[in-house]
Structure 1
Amino acid sequence: MRAISGLWRWRDNPLRRTTDLVEAWVALAALLLILVVTPLVGSLVGGLAQDALQESVREQRTSRHVVTATVVRKPAGSPLEADPEAATGQDIRTRVVAHWTAPDGTAHQGSVITSLDTPQTGDRFRIWTDQQGRTVARPLDSATAATHAVLAGFGAALLAVGLIEGGRRLVVWRMVRRRYARWDREWDKAGPDWGRTGAGS
């Protein structure tokens, strides 16, 4: 709105300089770019992120499998640690030594994090593995992927706004610098005697 009011203010003003009018037009152009370009950028980036993330969801669903693991024993030392897949990262889980059978039929044993509160030898719980039985993170779900895509779109739109506003400020800064340089040249032409009585100015 400042751009529009700036153009209106300088429309018939006798004190208007060319740079004042250019500055108001630059502000209006930046405003229009923000209103038109940033939603397009956000939609485009969000759409591309959505496609890529949903493809990743489909790939993870086909390559990751839930298997049942059996507790063999608790490892030596502190078996408690934060669950990396928890929403806050503050949930404490127990690490145990367990064995499981991979989807390809091979037997595996290793240290894994369990969701059991007080695991005992022989307790069973579920873990995610790949086809060869290596433990992997839970696959990404569609809702989380969509949320990440929306955030990517918003981030891209905000970045576009920042770039446009930064460009506007850079143009205005350069115009102001040129204006001041012109004023300095004019003051230099007027000389040190400007304004003195009888100096001919």
Structure 2
Amino acid sequence: MRMIKGLWRWRRNPLRRRTDVAEAYAALVAAVLIVLAAPATGWAAGSLAHGALERTAQEQRAERHVVAATVTKVLPQPPIDSDPETASARDAHRRVLASWTGPDGSRHQGTLGAHPGADAGETFRIWTDDQGRLKSRPLDSATTTTHAVLAGIGAGAATAGLVDGVRRLVVWRLVRRRYAQWDLAWARAGQDWGRADADS
């Protein structure tokens, strides 16, 4: 609104310069683009990201399977770490040697992280591919939506920043032109303008 008032103010002002009007129009165009183009870009980027992530999640759900792993041996905990972040991650899991059968019937054994109270003979769920190799849990709908929303917000913010950057560049060029015009006007006025003995 302030930009529209500024543009209206310069409409019939006798002191206006072309650079003043161009600067006001640049601000108005930038405001319109930020209000319209940034949300549209964010929505488009979020929609594309959501579609791609949903396809990835469907592929992962089709290729990954939940199987039961049996704890064969509880492994000793590593030495205590003074870093609270790694210590809390260590406390949330217990290292165990476990065995499992893949969806294709193949037998596997390996070191896994189980819940803190896991004991030998206990079973827990893990994700594997068709050959029984360990895989991470497939993406769920909440994760894909969150990532898509973040992508949309990032794209919208980047668009707004780009528009504002172009506006600032245009204003910088206009100000430089204005200063050049002032220098030219002062040169035309002459070095002795305003002196008492210059007959001015």
Aligned pairs for 1:84-103 within 5 A: 92-103=92-103
Per-residue CA deviation, residues 65-101 of structure 1 (Å, 9 max, x unaligned), is 11111112133451899xxxxxx97972112111101
The match for 1:57 is 57
In the alignment, the residues of structure 1 paired with residue 188 and residue 110 of structure 2 have an alpha-carbon distance, to the nearest angstrom, of 85
In structure 1, the partner of 2:72 is 72
2:179 equivalent to 1:164: no
Where do 5+ consecutive residues of structure 1 fail to align?
82-87
CA deviation string 1:98-153 (max 9, x = no partner): 11011111000011111x22221111111111111111111100122112112211
Counterpart-to-counterpart distance in 2, 1:166 and 1:33: 12
Map of 2:138 onto structure 1: 139
Relative distance call for 1:102 and 1:89 in structure 2 (3 A) is: same
Measured on the aligned residues, the alpha-carbon RMSD in Å equals: 2.2
User: 2:42 — aligned with what?
Assistant: 42
Q: Percent identity?
A: 55
User: Structure 2: which amino acid aligns with 1:51?
Assistant: G
AA aligned opposite 2:9: R
Counterpart residue type for residue 143 of structure 1: A
Greater relative contact order: 1 or 2 (C-alpha under 8 angstroms, separation 6 or more)?
2
> Is the counterpart of residue 186 in structure 1 residue 185 in structure 2?
yes
| 2-structure distance, mates of 1:173, 1:89 | 52
One-letter identity of the residue aligned with 2:49: A
| Whole-angstrom distance in 1 between the partners of 2:125 and 2:92 | 17
Q: How many corresponding residue pairs?
A: 194
- Per the alignment, residue 3 of structure 2 pairs with 3
Q: What letter is aligned with 1:55?
A: R
Taking structure 1 as reference, are residues 190 and 148 closer, same or farther at Cα in structure 2, changes over 3 Å only?
A: same
**Alpha-carbon distance in structure 2 between the residues aligned to 1:60 and 1:50:** 15
C-alpha separation in 2, matches of 1:187 and 1:73: 90
TM-score by length of 1: 0.88
State the distance in 2 between where 1:179 and 1:91 align: 66
Structure 1 residue matching 2:94: 3-state secondary structure:
strand
Q: C-alpha separation between the residues in 1 aligned to 2:187 and 2:90?
A: 68
Higher mean C-alpha displacement, 47-56 vs 149-158: 149-158
Equivalent residue for 2:106?
106
- Aligned counterparts of 1:62 and 1:129: Cα–Cα separation in 2: 11
When normalised by structure 2's length, the TM-score is: 0.88
Q: Which whole-Å CA distance do the structure 2 matches of 1:70 and 1:146 have between them? A: 34
Question: Partner amino acid for 2:67?
Answer: V
| Pair 56,186 (structure 1): closer, same or farther in 2 beyond 3 Å | same
In 2: Cα distance, 1:79 partner to 1:122 partner: 25
Which segment drifts farther, 186-195 or 102-111?
A: 186-195
Shift of 1:56: 0.6
- 1:120–1:91 Cα change, 3 Å: closer
Structure 2 contact 65–130 (Cα < 8 Å) conserved: yes
Q: Which amino acid aligns with 1:133?
A: G
Q: Which runs of 5+ in 2 are unaligned?
A: 82-87
**Alpha-carbon contact 2:77-2:94 (below 8 Å) kept:** no
Deviations 1:53-74 (A, max 9, x none): 1001100100111111111213
1-structure distance, mates of 2:50, 2:103: 30
